[in-house]
Amino acid sequence: MGHPMQELRLRQQMTLAPRLQQSVKLLQMSALEFTTAVQHALATNPFLEDPDESEPEASPAAPGVRGEMTEQTDGHPAPEPAAASESPDVDEPPPDAPAYSGDYPTHAPSGGDSDLGQWACANLSMRDRLSSELGNYHLQLRDRLLAEFIIDALDDDGYLRTPLENLCTEADEDINPTPDESEWMAALRLVQQLDVPGIAARDLRECLTLQLSALPDEDEATRALAQRIVQDHLERLGKNDYVGLRRTLGCSDDALRDACALIRHLDPKPGGRYSGDAPVYVVPDVFVDKWQGRWRVLPNRSAMPRARLHSAYADLFRRARLDDRSPMAQELQEARWLVRNVEQRYTTIQRVAEAIVKRQQMFFEYGEVALRPLMLREVADDLNMHESTVSRATVSKYMTTPRGVFEFRHFFSRELATESGGSCSAAAVRALIKEMVDAEDPAMPLSDVALTQQLASNGILLARRTVSKYRGQLRVPPAELRRQH
């Protein structure tokens, strides 16, 4: 059985230079993870210093100190232009490498500091979390849609109760040609490896097996015995038939006790670990507000740790003329990379946020019902970035807006066709369904057929099963359970 990433035909990328590897890693971090990483670098690399804690310089840094951050006249940090002689000790991408190095402008956008708090609260559902995890994989569009269909079909316990052949029926209006079973199985295996082990199992046996497979290899014999019990004798375990289990398995009492204890420590409902009502505290990367009649994006300065080269130490190293392969030379090179990549991260996130706000103006004016379809490729082409760069800049990145706190990925929604030949987003359809349910007569709630007909009267033609799926995603019970007598 092949690795799910290979089966989903992941594009094989050439090995990136170390500096670009660091750039990719920093970009995909959340604000909290990024702050921790920069603080660790400041504490462990002698060639780095925090500009906010260091003494002010009496004069500008010497031209020989390359890569140090300087201040623009508007008070925002910008990377100092690299000297022409810098290339020998900094790895650059080969000419045919993916376009990462060209993703960043030479200065950060301007904008005043915000007086909003650094911390914000957002509710992350199981599906939101899994979709965010999925964003870390470079997938072809078809493969990504298949995985998203599976995530959408999960129940609150984290199980995939819908048979794959039914998923094919639901998806055929969005994906052509119709996916075969092998494609669905590859997508399922990918979803099953996201986040919490046991997610997207089709029954209890598969759920427990996935969790056992994810355990560390500390006691392989106990795990192997537990897998045999789960696969073939789960009913006996449920009846506490330990005598029959020991006789059938031919194992000792101690081995059986350890295997059964291991099984009972597993979680039969892994989806329960996610609570849609439990707040998850995040640090927003940007703030969005309306100023002089226009929507603008401001960086969260309190969530922007900075680092610069320690000029005195860098000068001492150059004067000492140590071997370029010495540990200190490596630390100096890593310090230069970090300074550059920190600034690139800020600039990329800012540019992506501005592109999102530019395209979703109507959302900020009118809410979810006005959320337009938006694909990563659209933003990538507009900003002249690689699509994978935009993807990393949207996962675990948040914006605080007058309408609440949203992950960047919230604004990327699948496109649905309308009767007039236009398009709307899946998120907008869900918002319409929610509005219809909120306005219904409690004594005569709208069935899924009635919701489908109302959407059609608004020019949105969807299959009833798709409307049922969207209603379920909104956690709205079926009509018979909403009726009030």
Q: Are 231 and 222 in contact (CB under 8 A)?
A: no
Binning pLDDT at 50, 70 and 90, where does residue 400 land? Answer: very high
472 assigned to some structural domain: yes
340 assigned to some structural domain: no
Cβ neighbour number for residue 8 with a 10 Å cutoff: 22
Q: How far, in Å, are 114, 287, 388, 411 from residue 357 at the CA level?
A: 17, 11, 20, 9
Binning pLDDT at 50, 70 and 90, where does residue 372 land? Answer: confident
295 assigned to some structural domain: no
E-state strands within 330-442: 398-401, 404-407, 415-417, 423-425
216 assigned to some structural domain: yes
Q: Is the pLDDT of residue 294 over 90?
A: yes
Q: Which string of b and e fits 161-173 if b means at least 16 CB within 10 Å?
A: ebebeebbebbee
The residue behind tokens 């914000």 is: 120
The mean pLDDT value for 261-285 works out to 78
- For residue 261 the two structure tokens come to 């204890």
427 assigned to some structural domain: yes
Amino acid at 172: D
Chosen domain end from 242, 257, 273 = 273
**pTM over cut 0.85:** no
What is the structure's pLDDT at 208? 92
Range of the domain at 147: 126-273
Percentage of the chain beyond pLDDT 70 is: 72
The residue behind tokens 């994906």 is: 175
The residue behind tokens 């046996």 is: 205
Q: How far, in Å, are 15, 138, 142, 146, 395 from residue 12 at the CA level?
A: 9, 9, 17, 20, 21
Cβ neighbour number for residue 365 with a 10 Å cutoff: 11
φ and ψ at residue 415, rounded to 5 degrees: -90, 135
User: What whole-number distance in Å separates Cα of residue 205 and Cα of residue 81?
Assistant: 59
The mean pLDDT value for 375-401 works out to 88
Chosen domain end from 217, 252, 273 = 273
| Neighbour-count burial of 299, counting CB atoms closer than 10 A to its CB (0-12 exposed, 13-18 middle, 19+ buried) | buried
Q: Find the DSSP H helices in 156-310.
A: 164-171, 181-192, 204-213, 220-232, 234-238, 242-249, 253-264
Give the pLDDT confidence of 81-125 residue by residue, as tens digits: 333 333 333 333 333 333 433 333 333 334 444 444 456 666 567
What is the structure's pLDDT at 323? 59
Q: Residue 200: which region, alpha, beta or left (left: phi > 0; alpha: psi -120 to 50)?
A: left
Number of domains in the chain: 2
For the chain, the residue count is: 485
223 assigned to some structural domain: yes
| Residue 276 DSSP symbol | T
Chosen domain end from 247, 273, 299 = 273
φ and ψ at residue 420, rounded to 5 degrees: -80, -5
CA quadruple 64, 67, 69, 72: dihedral positive or negative? positive
265 assigned to some structural domain: yes
The mean pLDDT value for 269-283 works out to 71
Give every CB contact of residue 205 below 8 A, 6+ residues apart in sequence.
230, 231, 234
Give the pLDDT confidence of 2-39 residue by residue, as tens digits: 555 454 444 434 345 677 777 888 888 888 888 888 88
What is the structure's pLDDT at 332? 81
317 assigned to some structural domain: no
Residue 169 vs residue 159, higher pLDDT: 159
The residue behind tokens 């979803």 is: 191
Q: Is the pLDDT of residue 443 over 70?
A: yes
Instruction: Tell me the CATH number at 472.
Output: 1.10.10.60
Q: Are 51 and 69 in contact (CB under 8 A)?
A: yes
Nearest 10 degrees: Cα torsion 115, 119, 124, 130:
100
What is the structure's pLDDT at 205? 92
Binning pLDDT at 50, 70 and 90, where does residue 364 land? Answer: very high
Q: How far, in Å, are 190, 437, 450 from residue 483 at the CA level?
A: 39, 11, 14
User: What whole-number distance in Å separates Cα of residue 107 and Cα of residue 81?
Assistant: 10
User: What whole-number distance in Å separates Cα of residue 428 and Cα of residue 413?
Assistant: 9
User: What whole-number distance in Å separates Cα of residue 377 and Cα of residue 358?
Assistant: 15
